[in-house]
Structure formats: structure tokens, C-alpha cells
Copies of this chain bind each other. A is one copy, B any other.
Amino acid sequence: MELIDGKKVSAALKQEIAAEVAKMVAEGKKRPHLAAVLVGHDGGSETYVANKVKACEVCGFKSTLVRYEDDVTEEELLACVDRLNRDDDVDGFIVQLPLPKHISEQKVIEAIDYHKDVDGFHPINVGRMSIGLPCFVSATPFGILELLRRYNITTKGADCVVLGRSNIVGKPVASLMMQKADVGNATVTVCHSATKNLKDICRRADIIISAMGKPGFVTADMVKDGAVIIDVGTTRVPSTLTKSGWKLRGDVDFDNVAPKCSFITPVPGGVGPMTIASLMHNTLLAASHAIYK
């Protein structure tokens, strides 16, 4: 069994990006610039955004953080999006989700100029990914494929089972895994709450990508020997062992499943660290006009 070290791969990816940025700047090009919009003071969101700003420093990006209180109106937020769309210095930006309930997340996402949509949530980028055109791929699916690529895991013709059909993980990762590409070309089955024989389906899988948010759901009896397990679950569960009083748990019963696997991602330290590196990757693509001219 080999552990897929997302922390290591993420660090390597960021170093590669930093080298590319150093080259760009040495050539007299503009330093890539990522902006993030944060509404309110949700603990999770604060941490994510702080980590994104830190990653920008590691990569040599300029970063801007725009903050609003919880009571910002939708109109004000949309005006901010419009400003960032028109700001030529900003190559890409994100609006950290979730947003307060009085603001339509979909409206905000669709207001972002898709050329700067480094989160890859705009319908144009989602559609282009589905069609197989160059686009900003959202962070988690990109991170998963990057892990498979860097660990040389064979995906062609593999039976790949995706657990969960969310718009941000299940559906896009299924779409990527079925595409005719070096990482991809797998036979993909998408399972969800209405799936009847989920255990049987999992037992046949060469690769399981679990994105359900159900701690410990994938048990050893659901996994065949030699399977590859990608655990996207990150649920906070109470813990007496940490200062914070909680720890992250994945969808997979790691201790019992890991011995059966050829490769497995831990939680934390697997897919999680890849998401921010993926965002940095997209920002570099935006700054270098690699997707859109």
C-alpha cells in the first residue's frame, strides 16, 4: 500500500508555479494577481482564504483580499464582482463560498467574467470541461487528477466509481475521468443516495473516488484488493485529542481499508492540500492567457 501524499504533491506544484512566475517576472511580464472576496467571519472560510493568501506568497503572486461584513447586500457584492471583472491588474478572482442566505450564490458565480473564473464554477467553464475544451477546471477535481497523474496510476479502462454527484466534486470528476485523456478514459459509474446496490458496485471498482461527507462510510468489505482510494470527504468530528476540539475525518474507514489498497489518500493530507494548489495553477493559467486569449 502506498500513501498518496497530497501535502508533498501540493508543495511540489506550488514550487513549479513559483519557478514559472520567477521566469515570467524576469522576462518583464506582469506578476500574476489573484483576488479573493470574503463575506463575514465564518471560521472555515477565514482559514481557507488565509491559506489561499499564503499560497499566493509561496507562488510569487500578488494577492488582494476584499472583505465584507455579513450584512453586505447582493447589489454591493455584484458591484464588487463587476469592479474585479474590469480591473486589468486582476488575472483571476474567487468569491469564497458559502455566502449569507440573502445573497444568491448562483447569481454571483454567473456575474464573474469567465475569463477570470479561476474557481471554475461559471457555467461556461463547467460546459467547456464537459465538452472537453480548454477551461478552468475546478480545484478539487483538478487536484484529484493531478494526484493520479503524479503517482502514475493507470486510469485507462479502469472501473472508476464516484460516490456523490455534487456540482463541485462528483459530477465534474466523473466527467474528467471518462474523457479520452492520459488521466481519464476510465469506465465511470456515479453512485448517490438513490443507488441500490452500492456495496456491490464499490467491490468491483479499481478506483473509488468518495465525495459524500459521510465519515467512515467506505468500509473494508466494500473495497477489493489492490483498489485505489481517493477520499474527498472532510467532515469535522468532535475530538478530545486536538486543541480545537474537532478533527477532520474522511469518508473512508482508513485503518481497515488502507491495508487492502494499492494507493490511498489520507484525510487530512490527501486531496485537501491539492485544492489550493489547483487554484494557484488556474491563476497562473489565467495570468499567462493559456486558456483564453
B175 x A171 contact (CB < 8 A): yes
A187 x B190 contact (CB < 8 A): yes
Distance from A161 Cβ to chain B, minimum over Cβ atoms (Å): 9
B196 x A187 contact (CB < 8 A): yes
Q: Could you say how many copies of this chain the assembly holds?
A: 2
Q: Is the interface of A mostly helix, strand, loop or mixed?
A: mixed
Cβ-based interface call for A98 (8 A): no
> Are A194 and B156 CB-contacts (below 8 A) given A165-B178, A187-B201?
yes
Cβ-based interface call for A23 (8 A): no
Across the interface, which residues of B come within 8 angstroms of A192, CB to CB?
178, 180, 185, 187
Residue-wise interface mask of A (110-138) relative to B, using a CB-CB cutoff of 8 A (1 in contact, 0 not): 00000000000011111110111100000
- With A and B bound together, what is the CA distance between A131 and B127 in angstroms? 9
Which residues, 193 to 237 on A, are CB-close (under 8 Å) to B? 193-197, 201
Distance from A101 Cβ to chain B, minimum over Cβ atoms (Å): 19
Distance from A239 Cβ to chain B, minimum over Cβ atoms (Å): 33
B123 x A128 contact (CB < 8 A): yes
Residue-wise interface mask of A (148-187) relative to B, using a CB-CB cutoff of 8 A (1 in contact, 0 not): 0000000011010000010100011011001110000111
Using a CB–CB distance below 8 Å, which chain A residues touch chain B?
A: 106, 122-128, 130-133, 156-157, 159, 165, 167, 171-172, 174-175, 178-180, 185-197, 201
